[in-house]
Structure 1
């Protein structure tokens, strides 16, 4: 499923690098519609359906919606700012340091020296990957090179903020599940339904993204409506992936969830390079290797008694 998700995601970005807002909105709408039937109830003597009572107060989900929406948008926008998908995947795999930092600051967790060393390796790997930007063509003017670099720095900054949002979201979900129980389905439904109104502020951008798919359907692809087939495949795989992540985060800590996501993204990175022939150099390879090796080292160090990964 992770393979299909990264393949369709990259295909959509290749069709239109500025499809980020439309993709985020489509994913939220699709997931909201898929989960809606589980929360509709028909009461006696009433023909009007209503929502099931919530386990969690609405304001708790509203806070998570802001973080989730901002992080998703920034992540999907980054590709339009000259950030290669390979760098994007490596950066998204570096959520472990953020989760550990928030665990120390807000959850009063302690970590042994091997865990700390592993996280430092992950951090250094992400930094090295960010510096691995392929050189601009020698025929480009200095002005064009400077403009590309400015765009790239902006894109990396977006990924940094998105990474922080992911860490905050993981912490908020962890605290919510500890207090109200493993209500991951409710989390999935409300965080996506409540995020839909954000499209009001991005309507023009969303329209541009969806219109580009329509244009490609009639003129840019040999198979009619192929872009919409790719979009539907991405939405379905995203729904399954997000459901799995939410279910996992309801059972283990945000740090452990990040470990599982790192392994998944490592496979996605290999697929991206092999299938699409994406940019790859020794510096990016070293950085990616450090991120994934550091994550595996962290896994081997989690047996320390001072760190409980499972909730009680």
Structure 2
């Protein structure tokens, strides 16, 4: 458990820095998400290939791995595609934090799960926060970028993100059923889900090559006497911090309860949003902050973070009989 505080620190450091590098790259080329994701998958695959213990064999059938990989790649591609439709990174973070909404709906429809009134209230709060952020973002487009095409472009981008949310919830259900049937094998999943995804990027080779050309033409920076395009330096920083982020989250999922992991990841997303707003001076108004608090507050409420803390503080009842 000594590694847990360090893992939490590295989640905030790695994931926060990752957003910093990502926003720089998106500003250089808004379609570079496919190149970034391909690089991340390749790095994680190579790193885990050297550490994977083949002597134990594969515990989960390949057909189940392929199903998860197909959903995994689709989600990554769709989320990257959304950046091409005037979706600010700030709204992207908030919108994706609403995955609990689609998860609750799909679990009810596909698994026939029933949730408490407390859960449904949390989902309603999250939905309200997303709606507020979306409407406010749509109404505060900078004058330099406002045009007659912005509104439908933003609407289609949100539609694309909605599809990604549904698929994210669907993959969560598949992973839950896989764990129930075959047990927990996180290292196997981490390696195979990234490694088996690599061939999928052959279908995206043209946009990947196009983004690579844009990166190479970016403003050069002097590093140890060498002139290197700034985009490639941000790219390397993005890959390194992404690995730190994912590896640290893996440590948390292995050592901590799901409640702790949910709390850390939720606060990490909020931290990433603050970095984007402050450092990049993103257009984020008073109403945007209200919506943001509703989204992340609703997430913590769904995870019963507040009620759990109250239960811990509640004094034990006395068993003495009244005189």
Normalising by structure 1, report the TM-score: 0.83
Residue 199 in 1 paired to residue 212 in 2? no
Paired with 1:257 and 1:131, the residues of 2 have a C-alpha distance of 30
- How far 1:297 sits from its partner (Å)? 2.0
C-alpha contact 1:114 1:301 (8 A) present in aligned 2:
no
1:6 to partner: Cα distance: 0.9
1:294 to 291, 294, 298: 298
Question: Is 1:163 aligned to residue 176 of structure 2?
Answer: no
Which of 103, 108, 122 aligns to 1:104? It is: 108
- Cα deviations across residues 271-306 of structure 1 (Å, max 9, x unaligned)? 1111111111233222111101112222337969xx
Q: Which residue of 2 aligns with 1:222?
A: 221
Unmatched 5+ residue regions in structure 1? 42-50, 305-312
Cα distance change of structure 1 residues 134 and 13 upon mapping to structure 2, 3 Å threshold: farther
Cα shift readout 1:158-201 (whole Å, capped 9, x = no counterpart): 11111112111222222222222221111111111111111221
Contact 1:95 1:166 in 2 (8 A): yes
CA deviation vs aligned residue, 1:97-153 (integer Å, no higher than 9, x gap): 12222333344433221221011100111122122224446688xxx7231222211
2:300 and 2:306 in contact (8 A); partners too? no
What is the distance in 2 between the residues matched to 1:139 and 1:231? 28
Distance 1:255 1:176, change over 3 A: farther
Alignment check: 8 A CA contact 2:263 2:305 kept? no
Which residue number corresponds to residue 82 of structure 1? Answer: 86
Structure number with larger C-alpha Rg: 2
Q: What residue is the counterpart of 2:135 in the other structure?
A: 131
Note the C-alpha offset of 1:64.
0.8
**Match status 1:35 vs 2:48:** yes
Distance in 2, matches of 1:107 and 1:250, equals 26
Name the counterpart of 1:180: 182
Separation of aligned partners in 2, 1:73 and 1:252: 30
Matched residues in 2 for 1:103 and 1:256: separation?
22
How far has the Cα of 1:77 moved from its partner? 2.1
| Matched residue, 2:38 | 25
Q: Deviations over 1:210-241 (max 9, x none)?
A: 1211111xxx1433323222212211222233
Given the superposition, is the C-alpha separation of residues 40 and 255 from structure 1 closer, same or farther in structure 2, using an over 3 Å criterion? closer
C-alpha change, 1:246 and 1:237, in structure 2 (3 Å) is same
Q: Distance in 2 between matches of 1:25 and 1:296?
A: 32
Contact 2:140 2:283 in 1 (8 A): no
Aligned partners of 1:162, 1:301: CA distance in 2, in Å?
26
TM-score, normalization by structure 2: 0.80
Residues 78 and 265 of structure 1: CA distance in aligned 2, closer, same or farther (over 3 Å): same
